[in-house]
Chain A
Amino acid sequence: MMTNDRCSISRADALHVFWIVGIGSVLLDLDHLWKVLGLEAPISFTYFAGRDFHTPLIFIITGCFFGIVFTAYALRQDEFRRFVDISGTRAERYLSSLHTYVRRFDSCFDMRRSDTLLVSGSGGHLKRALVLREYFENATVIIPYESEVSKYKVKENYIRVISPRYRAKSSRIMTVFRTLWLFLHSIVIVSMMRPKLVISTGSGLSLPILLIAKFFRVKTVYIESPSRVHEPSITGRLMLSKTDRWIALWKTLAEKYGVSYGGML
């Protein structure tokens, strides 16, 4: 499919892995749960010799089967119909809603190999990322999923991710789950795209991706927002000693925290 790219795994493969691992691990966790609670397993499969079959194994096989079926349907509806005709049934309605769900996260898995990742938020963060994109050819921009406008501003080479906190007033509890999801997503992004450099233009969105990139020994750069004149932002303060370069856009901030001064972007 992609010949020149170092990233040889296709989107369909990635989806297969996601479904299989997802369904399998949920069922495994269930199996674990009732043992932790000291209950007897509600279902136990027996082998033909009368011995207990390893229940999680059954679950994983079932998970694999449904994972492959779901993915095959979601990606190739027409080919799927040749084998099983389910048109007009409840199963079809369920699977087609699943299909739209997968399509919605289309750009999550549409990863083309690029040397530079520009992690930006919406608005001014994105504007600075787009200025930087002119200097790094073939750079991919990471934008928040919530912002439709950003998608039109970037036009090409972007990945949409769920941002931990899009609005200052959005729920704090959901922020935890969104951050966890973003950690998982950034593991997928960084390990599949293998960038040489990750540049953040200073939004809260960039924290998980920078940490994951640092874990994978990728060079990281953090550029603080120009609205920070005397004190760094929360993300900036957390990333102070963790990135390879921490660039302040005002001299007062650079002198106070002993970071490099980059001029105005």
Chain B
Amino acid sequence: MMAILVTVGTSLPFDGLIQVVDVLIKYHMITDDVYGQIGNGEYIPKYFKQYRRFVGNMDEAYDRVDLVITACGAGTIMEVAKRGIPMIAVSNPDITGGHEWELVEKMESLGHLVFCRNYLDLSLYLYVRNMEFEPFVPDKFNLSLITDILEEYK
């Protein structure tokens, strides 16, 4: 039995994605346990195993799940990609401009996620849970860039 995490982030609601996943569970397209972090959305999922509006510590959740379905939030994408968990990034049509796509397309070209451009097509992307992803190893942040300019005070 696999566990799936659906997260839409805390700032913008994404009811469409939650609804689609709920329907897929209802008609047995998804038979795994689904955990949700639904943010400020108005739609309340009926078939999820468990859902919360806001999760304080997502690290524990990431350790337990085998597939993450996420809205294109930069924070979630980086955290999940670092762990090498299979991930589907779903684009939210409500976001105007959509600057997050730049990151999503970059991470997709590096092979750390699969980008679902229309949330209604989510069922076509469920093969992702059987794929294997390599963890994303970013360069360490160079803190001396910031501390250098403080040296004038010393």
A residues with CB within 8 A of B: 122-124, 127, 135, 147, 149, 152, 167-169, 196-197, 199, 219, 221, 225-231, 233, 244-245, 247, 250, 260-265
Contacts and interface: CB of A to CB of B under 8 A. Distances in A.
Given A152-B56, A263-B140, 20 more contacts: A123-B75, A127-B75, A149-B10, A168-B96, A196-B150, A199-B146, A219-B150, A221-B146, A225-B74, A227-B99, A227-B103, A229-B106, A245-B146, A262-B141, A263-B139, A263-B142, A264-B138, A264-B139, A264-B141, A265-B141
Which are the 4 A-B pairs with shortest beta-carbon distances?
Answer: A264-B138, A263-B139, A124-B75, A227-B103
Size band of the interface chain B makes with A: 20 to 34
- Secondary structure type dominating chain B contacts: loop
24 contacts: A122-B10, A122-B11, A123-B73, A124-B74, A135-B143, A167-B12, A168-B96, A168-B97, A197-B146, A197-B149, A221-B146, A227-B100, A227-B103, A228-B102, A228-B103, A229-B105, A245-B145, A245-B149, A260-B145, A263-B142, A264-B78, A264-B138, A264-B139, A264-B140
Contact of B142 (A124, A168, A262): A262
B102 A230 contact: yes
A227 B102 contact: yes
B73 A124 contact: yes
Contacts of B138: 263-264
A128 to B, nearest CB: 8
Contacts of B97: 168
A122 to B, nearest CB: 6
- Name, among A124, A152, A247, the residue most crowded by chain B CB atoms within 10 Å (CB to CB): A124
Interface string B95-131: 1110110110110000000000000000000000000
Given A149-B10, A149-B54, A244-B149, A231 B102 contact: yes
Contacts of A228: 99, 102-103
Contacts of A260: 145
A166 to B, nearest CB: 9
A138 B56 CA distance: 23
Interface of B: 9-12, 54, 56, 73-75, 78, 95-97, 99-100, 102-103, 105-106, 138-143, 145-146, 149-150, 153
Contacts of B56: 152
A89 to B, nearest CB: 41
